[in-house]
Amino acid sequence: MQKQTLSFQAEVKQILHLVTHSLYSNKEIFLRELVSNASDACDKLRFEALDNSALYEDQPNLEIRVSFDAAAKTITIRDNGIGMSAEEAVAHLGTIAKSGTREFMAKLEGDQKKDANLIGQFGVGFYSGFIVADRITVESRRAGLKPEEAVRWSSDGTGDFEVEPITRAERGTDVILHLREGEEEFLKTWKLKSIISKYSDHISLPILMRKEEWDADKAEYHLKDEWETVNKAAALWTRPKSEVTDAQYQEFYKQISYDSDAPLAYTHNRVEGRTEYTQLLYIPAKAPFDLWNRDKRGGVKLYVKRVFIMDDAEALMPVYLRFVKGVIDSADLPLNVSRELLQESRDVKAIREGSTKKVLSMLEDVAENQKDKYAAFWKEFGPVLKEGIGEDHQNQERLAKLLRFASTHADEGVSFADYVGRMKEGQDAIYYITADTLTAAKNSPQIEIFRKKGIEVLLLVDRVDEWMLSHLYEYEGHSLQNISKGAVDLGKLQDEEEKKKAEEAATAFKPVLDRLKETLKERAKDVRVTTRLVDSPACLVMEEGDMSAHLARMLKQAGQKAPESKPILEVNAEHPLVKRLDGDARFDDLAQILFDQAWLAEGGQLEDPASYVQRVTRLLTPA
């Protein structure tokens, strides 16, 4: 290969522009990112060497070295990890194959407070070097390649970069930062040590720096040729809990999650028994940008006997807990475990079950003792947690207790336990309604009788609610009843006089009902008198067993077919508009308008808005 000058991918140019012009709120994160990349390179070597120990060559001990040259104004981060070939240098440093690039740039442009922490979250940490450097040189040789097959990559962070072949005896990578004017503060041992201590103390590999010695004659420090470890070089999760401070736990979380906020909660445990493992698990305070991508890899890193195996072991945590971050270190799994083996392993199943229960215990503790914090968690992750009702039957009862809803009594934060505690005497069922928005649910005609009697109704407006409730039928012996399905049944809450009055109204109104059924036979399965309405003339309900209109709309919006089910029109025989039907010459127009208004109140869209407008116009125009 000859020396080449190549252009950055368009997305990289945009990111480099933002990095060099925007990321100044926390410059020191450049060292955190580059040390993290060096650690990853060593982890990758260790993983590949499981099948090919020759990759270690004559350097079995993995390490990271950080040094600086004050005269040349350079900082070098060296690792003896997997290294890069020339092709990999071009691919990894010149292009970004990340779907999140656009989101990264949007977030960076829109939120300057969290800018510095976003760069690692989206897999573009290498470019953070340009925060303090006006040129970066990378020299690397991939493990297993010959010394003359090494590569040098160099760029000033504008539009182009250069690659050329070099000879390099050592396996691994050197990242050399040529500092900008004004960044000399980083050319000091104490400064670099403090950054490493702050951000990278948890890294299990030794991070080495040259020792500094005071020269009394010159009244200055000078660097010795002796290297010392400047981090604890012990994985944080392997240390006793009594030796780890809350600040260290929080900083470790920020390192593995690239999150700027402290976690909502965390748990650190060593599990012994048939399966032995250590778990350090975190619940974030904020949802990631890709939370709703169910194909997203999990946030749990897998180690086996402190050897890094994989970064996103989704088999260790159910999909509905995909927001959980952390580390699980197994003492039982084989070092060469693959994703396929993870899916089949009994040990992994035990780890998954134990870790799931531990996360639910954390959430239960927060919900019980820190209600404001749990309310904040629910706003971020509540809809995702609801997925567990249908996916995790083993823990369904525990999950049901963690659910929170809006209701006719409160706009948020209502648990099933709260609802049951407020149930009317004689009330057996938990009543709920689903809708597209909270406003639509609150104003639905179907809840009028419940509001009149002071009976609480849960208002469910998340897209996942309909699916969730197809798996949850009761809570502590109280059935869940959708008030938009079937005839209204208030059980003991409806007195005999009301029932008798409704029966009499239905009998007296029968001729009008029969005519309504005939006029609306193409649109309504049935027409009947109801007691659920107080102020509205009519409403639509579905027959028990039929798909709700709300779910049918969601399926259609998603491009899926929904079974065709006609609704039932329920009318309020005491309403003036319904009374007007009897003997009115424009019966057919009134009947169609009655149905259309009920459909609109339900949140539906009219198939023929023009006909509706024409009918209303005719009714408003004097004969």
pLDDT digits (tens, 9 = 90+) for 134-192: 999 999 999 999 999 999 999 998 888 999 999 999 999 999 999 999 999 999 999 99
pTM: 0.69
Looking at residue 416, its pLDDT comes to 96
Residue 138 is predicted with a pLDDT of 96
What is the reported pLDDT for 623? 60
pLDDT at 112 over 60: no
For residue 474, name the pLDDT band (cuts at 50, 70, 90).
very high
Output 31 or 29, whichever has higher pLDDT: 31
> Which pLDDT score, from 0 to 100, does residue 97 have?
42
| pLDDT at res. 14 | 73
CB 142 within 8 A of CB 85: yes
Burial of 163 (0-12, 13-18, 19+ CB in 10 A): buried
| DSSP single-letter state for residue 28 | T
Identify which of 212, 313, 325, 188 has the alpha carbon closest to the alpha carbon of residue 259.
325
At which residue do the structure tokens 């995909």 appear? 322
- Give the number of other CB atoms < 10 A from CB of residue 248: 15
Bridge partners (DSSP) listed for residue 475: 478
Q: Higher-confidence residue: 218 or 114?
A: 218
pLDDT on residue 475: 95
Nearest alpha-carbon partner for 328 in 344, 349, 351:
351
Among residues 95, 137, 132, which one has the least CA distance to residue 116?
132
**Could you give the residue range(s) of every CATH 3.40.50.11260 domain in the chain?**
392-492
Mean pLDDT (whole number) for 430-451 = 90
**CATH of region 236-369:** 3.30.230.80
Q: What pLDDT, on the 0 to 100 scale, is given for residue 114? A: 42
Q: What percentage of the chain reaches a pLDDT higher than 90?
A: 43
Is residue 302 scored above 60 in pLDDT?
Answer: yes
User: Is a pLDDT exceeding 50 seen at residue 194?
Assistant: yes
Radius of gyration of the chain (CA): 33
Q: What is the pLDDT of residue 19?
A: 66
pLDDT digits (tens, 9 = 90+) for 319-375: 999 999 999 999 888 876 777 777 778 888 999 999 999 999 999 999 999 999 999
Return residue ranges of the chain for CATH 1.20.120.790.
493-620
The residue with tokens 């900083």 is 251
Cα distances from 503 to residues 511, 530, 567, 618, in angstroms, run 14, 9, 22, 34
State the pLDDT at residue 438. Answer: 92
Q: How far is CA 49 from the centre of its chain?
A: 33
Per-residue pLDDT at 116: 44
Say what the pLDDT of residue 9 is.
75
Sign of CA dihedral 187, 191, 195, 196: positive
Q: Which residues contact 139 (CB under 8 A, 6 or more apart)?
A: 150, 151, 152, 153, 166, 168, 173, 174, 176
Question: Of all helices (H) and strands (E), which one includes residue 358?
Answer: helix 346-369
**What is the Cα–Cα distance from 47 to 67, expressed in whole angstroms?**
27
496-516 residue pLDDT tens: 676 777 777 778 888 888 999
Which CATH superfamily includes the segment(s) 493-620? Heat shock protein 90, C-terminal domain (1.20.120.790)
- Asked if residues 389 and 406 have their Cβ atoms less than 8 Å apart, the reply is no
* pLDDT tens-digit map of 368-412: 999 999 999 999 999 999 999 999 999 999 999 999 999 999 999
**CA distances for 222 relative to 183, 191, 219, 453, 483, angstroms:** 20, 15, 10, 83, 79
Tell me, what's the pLDDT at 582? 82
Residue 398: the pLDDT is 96
Please check the confidence at residue 36 and state whether its pLDDT lies above 80: yes
* Choice between 103 and 474, residue whose per-residue pLDDT is larger: 474
Q: Which tops the pLDDT comparison, 124 or 527?
A: 527
How deeply is 220 buried, as exposed, middle or buried, from its count of CB atoms within 10 A (0-12, 13-18, 19+)? exposed
The angle formed by the CA atoms of residues 105, 78 and 81, to the nearest 5 degrees, is: 90
The whole-chain average pLDDT of the chain stands at 85
CATH 3.30.565.10 domain range(s) in the chain? 4-229
pLDDT, average across residues 191-203: 84
Return d(Cα 338, Cα 349) in angstroms, integer: 15
What per-residue confidence (pLDDT) applies to 144?
A: 95
| Res. 293: pLDDT tops 80 | no
Report helix, strand and coil shares of the chain as percent, to nearest 5.
45, 20, 35
Instruction: List the structure tokens of 441.
Output: 């649910």
- The predicted pLDDT at position 168 comes to 96
Percent share of the chain, pLDDT over 70 = 88
Alpha-carbon distance values, 58 to 39, 62, 209, 214, 262 (Å): 19, 11, 22, 35, 41
Measured CA to CA in angstroms, residue 445 lies from 540, 575, 599 at distances of: 9, 13, 11
Alpha helix positions (H), 201-261: 246-257
* pLDDT confidence bin for 279, thresholds 50/70/90: very high
pLDDT band per the 50, 70, 90 thresholds, residue 265: very high
DSSP-based three-state secondary structure for 267: strand
Q: Is the predicted pLDDT of residue 488 greater than 80, yes or no?
A: no
d(CA 357, CA 343): 19
Backbone phi and psi for residue 352, each to the nearest 5 degrees, phi listed first: -60, -45
Dump pLDDT digits (tens) for 215-231: 777 777 788 889 999 98
DSSP 552: H
pLDDT at 575 over 80: yes
Q: Which CATH number fits domain 392-492: 2.60.40.10, 3.30.300.30, 3.40.50.11260, 3.40.50.720?
A: 3.40.50.11260
In angstroms, the Cα distances linking 63 to 80, 88, 185, 239 are 6, 21, 25, 20
| Residue 121, pLDDT score | 44
CA atoms within 13 A on the CB side of 505: 18
Higher pLDDT, residue 95 or 342: 342
Start-end ranges of CATH 3.30.230.80 in the chain?
A: 236-369
- Report whether 73 contacts 179 (CB < 8 A): yes
Rounded CA separation 264/401 (Å): 19
4-229, which class in CATH? alpha beta
- Paired tokens of 601: 């109140």
